[in-house]
Amino acid sequence: MSRFLVVAAVAILALAGAATAAADEPTKQTSTLSQSFVDNEACPFPTNVTVDRVRTTITFSNGDQTRHVDLTVTISTNDRTWIERDSYTVFITADSPNLWEIVGSFTHTRVQGGGTVFLESGRISYELATDTITDLHPGPHGTGSDPDAYNATVCAALAP
């Protein structure tokens, strides 16, 4: 066999091995969202709202995904500020893409200069098709998931 054929065969095998290894590596994408607006509906007075979100999605070769989310929502008015900082990871399997397992701090709210108002961390299940959250071990402070109760608490904390 000529030296050229041996070199060509080795090069082809090396490239094929690299392609196989690359196909098995997970892909990673990071997206950011930042927006600000005035909310004239939640409280009887206008509030300034800023939302900052960073989401990193890792997709594995079998189709499973993990999504890590860092979310900060800042609501301010009347020289007062309400801050919600959430940090959680969503696990989605390719076999059951409508069932999400969410682990982390998914509601952590403080009033500036005050203390924690809402705190919920741990593990919850979310059924995408039915928009249902299952919390097998609810925490002591509640998630603030009742929008009316949450808004009332925000408005009371920010009221003049």
7: pLDDT confidence band, cut at 50, 70 and 90? very low
Neighbours of 59 (CB within 10 A): 16
Domain that residue 82 falls in: 27-158
Residue 1 lies in a domain: no
pLDDT at 120: 74
pTM: 0.73
Instruction: Please report whether residue 12 resides in a domain.
Output: no
45 occurs within a structural domain: yes
- Given a cut of 80, whether residue 149 has pLDDT beyond it is no
pLDDT band at 106 (very low <50, low <70, confident <90, very high): confident
Q: 54-98, pLDDT tens digit by residue?
A: 999 999 999 999 999 999 999 999 899 998 889 999 999 999 999
Please check whether residue 21 lies inside any domain of the structure: no
Distance CA 41, CA 45 (A): 8
pLDDT, residue 145, reads: 58
Cβ atoms of 137 and 120 within 8 Å: the answer is no
CB 83 within 8 A of CB 110: yes
Number of domains into which the chain is organized:
1
